[in-house]
Structure 1
Amino acid sequence: MKELYKLFSENEKNYKLIYNKDYRKRYSQYFTDFDYSKKLVLSVGKDIYKKNNLNILEPAAGTGNLILSLLLNLRNSCVKKVRIDMYEIDANLIPILTSNISKLKDRLKNEIKINFNIINKDFLKQEIKEKYDIILSNPPYKKIRKTEISNNSTYINFFIGQPNIYHLFLIKNLDLLKDDGYCVFLSPKSYFSGKYSEKIRNYIIDNYNIYKIYSFDERKKIFNNEIQQEIIITSFTKRKLNDTIIEYNNNGVYCVKQKNIISEKNKKSIILVPRNKKEFETIKKIEKSFKFNLGDLGFKIKVGQNVIFRAKNKYKLFTVPYKKNKTIPLIRSRHFSKNGLNYSNNIKGKNRYISMENKGVREYAVKNDNYLLFKRLVTKNNKKIFNVIPYFKNFFDSKYISFENNFVYIHKKNFMIEELYGLYFLFNSYLYDLYYRAINSTHGLNIYELESMKFPSINIIREIGNLYLVNNISEEEIYNFINTLIQ
């Protein structure tokens, strides 16, 4: 069947030569690489192949790569007849898609009877009464205005903030699934956590089971690095399941109870994706041993107030040099170092202080106090996922300070030094590194995710801090102590 893969690939390549990147971006077209189309197909439960007839849906068909991989996988099964509905909104793809599937049908005519319908319409706007055994989907990815769906009761109630079009595909796909069918969905992982997709996530948890999750770091093959979030393949079904299968970057497969990868508290839910069985067991121990969220302990998590270009346009905020009682120190990413805050005069660049002459400046400042500072950008290839340092209120002789928007910070009333160091060592530990990797779904720290994590009691946090401040214990010994807390 190599000739079919070659044919489909050449037709896709020719299409890309004719229709440039800007055109394809208009439709959010990211064609599925065959390596990943095969992984989608392998995420369909094998029990569905015991049927003689299958009803199949591809809601964003492209050039038909997913259907090719699926039908070739069906050849040695009990399936002898398939009916396929393929939706494709781009009229320029229809001739290619029709030619590809026609050749596939002819090639398999002695093995599987194939009836296919290609519909050149917007899938989301169609009223579809049919239900499907298998739904394979690599949907478009782009943010849309909430006003675009404000009159559609099917979608509007699922969203808190701005939706992404792939969310709509997911909701509709699940609605069209037979009770014993499988919906396999390639998408960013972001709907597994975060406030904006909370209602979608709760709907999935309440009405469906997750058969398999395949997660991977490589985005380039599918998205040319244009999609910044981590990507996953998820297989959903209404069937009763005992376990969920998890695979990460081809590094082995393991099974877990679905309830053990769902973290819920105070109506907040997150679907965890540990990379391996060892990480899963460790996270399970963390959530069993630690009972508190940061909010329970009096901590608040916020993003830095100062979006530089907006503030600069709105007010004449910046002044050089420093003037006591007339300026506020502006803490920017360039001042962040692994050894702490570096605010020396040797740092290149200006605009390190904010003028207090304008009355509106206070919206960009906070009280000068103790804070735990994080860089918002998450780089999962780094040895540690958290870039975190303690900030002490005696660093500046100033009533106020201002954090650039590239920071996330943790604060509480009467934030004690031992609490500050206790949290610092927890976030720098191996345990919390792998814990957050399993939760995080974007390229930045997410407040919703941080608020959902479990922590030890405030007394234990203080004890960790005092190991460093009072007992003068080495950092390695402190991290060893943290590990003992979940034994």
Structure 2
Amino acid sequence: MDLLGYVKKQTGEFLEKMPKSIRKKKGQFFTSVETAIFMANMFDISNCKDEVSVLDPGAGTGILTIAFVNRLFAEKSNTSVNITCYETDADVLPVLQKNLAYLKNAFNDCVSYRIIEEDYILSQSNDFQENLLAAKNPEKYDYVIGNPPYLRIMRDNPAAIAMPKVVHGAPNLYFLFASMSLFNLKDNAEMVYIIPRSWTSGAYFKAFREYFLNVGKIEGIHLFVSRDKVFGAEQVLQETMIIKMKKTAEKPESVLITSTNSSSDFEDVSELRVPYDAVVSGEELYVYLPTNEADINVIKKINMYHSTMPDEGLKMKTGIVVDFRQWEELRKEPGENTLPLFYSQHIRDGRVNHQPSGKEYDWISDEKPGLIQKNKNYVFIKRFTAKEERRRLQCGVYSPSDFEEYEYIGTQNKINFVDKTDGGEMDAQTTYGIYALLNSTFFDMYYRILNGSTQVNSTEINNIPVPPVDLIKEIGEQVLLSEDLSTDNCDRIISEVAYV
């Protein structure tokens, strides 16, 4: 049996014996052979030395390392390889041992390996933090290939405590592994990792991005248009990407972005060479993931501005009422001391109404000031949309004159709203201008490139560059005059006024 066929068979037998429910609790998802081969082929081995070291943290059955070594010997037959695998799972360790022994036997004395049965993060966190217990010369590697555990952990988890430099908000083991792997690389060496794309934006991952994108630079990204292909039989629906990093301070001119649409055998790979600054941009070091020339054009056009909504005195906020926590304040019917409560279902065709939402409670008591807000001009936007929906940004103009009998209203937590930062009221032109931007194809495409989730994050919206407020007002005035809230009309107006 050929090498990868043997490993695939051993991995398949392990997966049959080990229930997915148990592996999921460990954050353990196994890479398909096709994905492992693709990852192995992402490395540049043109300047490979006669003797190289390879690290596979969280090695599982060893399929990634074996795919890489198999490729290495196919192209560089005179090379010798020293492999280091970290793995602590007692269930999978016998399979890893068996597979690496088979690898060594296939290539005789050209392969040596060791399996370290210690926690990958904790075993060398002193070196990463450079504290008094750090090794003077921590071990570094020529190549790192990895599929880290995907597991949220508490902030008091030992792994999170061990790496405060990259932790902000809710930690996940995958970005701790990625940070440590970059640390483990030799200068100008490469790593290829398969990770969720959630790290590319958002406040929780800011500290990680600052470390990851300053110590290293992105050289390649592979995107999976179909979420269910990357792990094959594992049926993982996480938005996942493969990233190739080089440990260097020197910024490359461009990043190669590849993508696959449907098959799991990587036969339909498309390629796009993207300027580095169109991929990594802004103070937040967001990572944009364009897949075609139209995406690149959108990034360039929106990034030509440098102010954000907060810079212009505007801010997107999240609705106040978390209904399952405030049952006592909710009401089924209007009445005395009762105000309309707005849900995402009330955003329809560019407007906000208060027709029955399908919820049991469409009203709220006015007795708690912290749960209500002034009845004034807003732009409402849905926080959650379905993956298959055509648009991610779905918004509507809230007009206080439609509810003039109320001084205050309530907004449920599954909507966002745009308001003035000083607590004042947006004029109509600004309101309609902000609506036009958020309702445009430009902004919807930009947000999709930035964020692969179905949640509209107010922090990310507040970091998107926008035209200055005088241009926003001009856009809004033209939308008002046209009385047309369609996306086509918004696109036409903002193209003429702001993105010529």
Paired position in structure 2 for 1:106: 105
- CA deviations over 1:331-386 (Å, ceiling 9, x no partner): 123333335334225x54421111234xxx33222222221111112445432221
Whether 1:486 aligns to 2:468 is: no
How far off its partner does 1:477 sit? Answer: 4.5
Q: Where does 1:151-300 land on structure 2 (aligned, <5 Å)?
A: 152=161, 155-222=163-230, 228=238, 230-239=239-248, 240=250, 241-249=252-260, 252-265=270-283, 268-288=284-304, 290-300=305-315
Moved more, 78-87 or 134-143: 78-87
Which residue of structure 1 lines up, in the alignment, with residue 55 of structure 2?
A: 57
| Equivalent residue number for residue 406 of structure 2 | 398
| Structure 2 contact 437–490 (Cα < 8 Å) conserved | no
Partner Cα distance (2:236, 2:36) in 1: 19
- Between 1:15-24 and 1:293-302, the stretch displaced more is 15-24
Aligned equivalent of 2:134: none
- 1:66 and 2:40 equivalent? no
**Residue 306 of structure 1: SS of its match in structure 2?**
coil
Q: Which of 379, 395, 400 is residue 388 of structure 1 equivalent to?
A: 395
Correspondence for 1:141: 150
SS in 1 for 2:214: helix
Contact 1:372 1:420 survives alignment (8 Å): yes
Q: Secondary structure at the match of 1:343?
A: coil
Once residues 382 and 43 of structure 1 are traced to their aligned partners in structure 2, the CA distance between those partners, rounded to angstroms, is 33
Aligned to 2:11: 12
Letter in 2 for 1:298: G
Separation in 2, partners of 1:178, 1:61: 20
Deviations, residues 117-154 of structure 1 (Å, cap 9, x unaligned): 122221112137211111111111111111124894x5
CA gap of 1:36–1:483, structure 2 versus 1, over 3 A, is farther
- Aligned residue among 451, 454, 473 for 2:465: 454
User: Where does residue 117 of structure 1 map in the other structure?
Assistant: 114
Segments of 4+ moved more than 6 angstroms:
none
Alpha-carbon deviation of 1:405?
Answer: 1.3
Give the distance between the partners of 2:269 and 2:400, measured in 1 at CA.
46
Query: RMSD of the alignment, in Å?
Result: 2.4
State the aligned residue count.
470
Mapping of residues 331-346 of structure 1, within 5 Å: 331-338=342-349, 340-345=351-356
- 470-479 vs 439-448, which deviates more? 470-479
Taking only the aligned residue pairs, the percentage that are identical comes to 27
Q: Which residue of 1 aligns with 2:132?
A: none
Conserved 8 A contact 2:382-2:415: yes
SS of the residue aligned with 1:181?
A: strand
Distance 1:320 1:438, change over 3 A: closer
Deviation per residue, 1:261-302 (Å, 9 max, x gap): 22224xx331222122332133113212x2320111111111
Residue by residue over 1:182-229, the C-alpha shift from the partner in whole angstroms, topping out at 9 and shown as x without a partner, is 11121111222111211221222322111111122333234656554x
Paired position in structure 1 for 2:362: 352
In structure 2, stretches of 5+ residues that fail to align are 128-137, 261-267
CA 1:151–1:24 in 2, change beyond 3 Å: closer, same or farther?
closer
In 1: Cα distance, 2:446 partner to 2:163 partner: 32
How far residue 320 of structure 1 moved from its aligned partner, in angstroms, is: 2.7
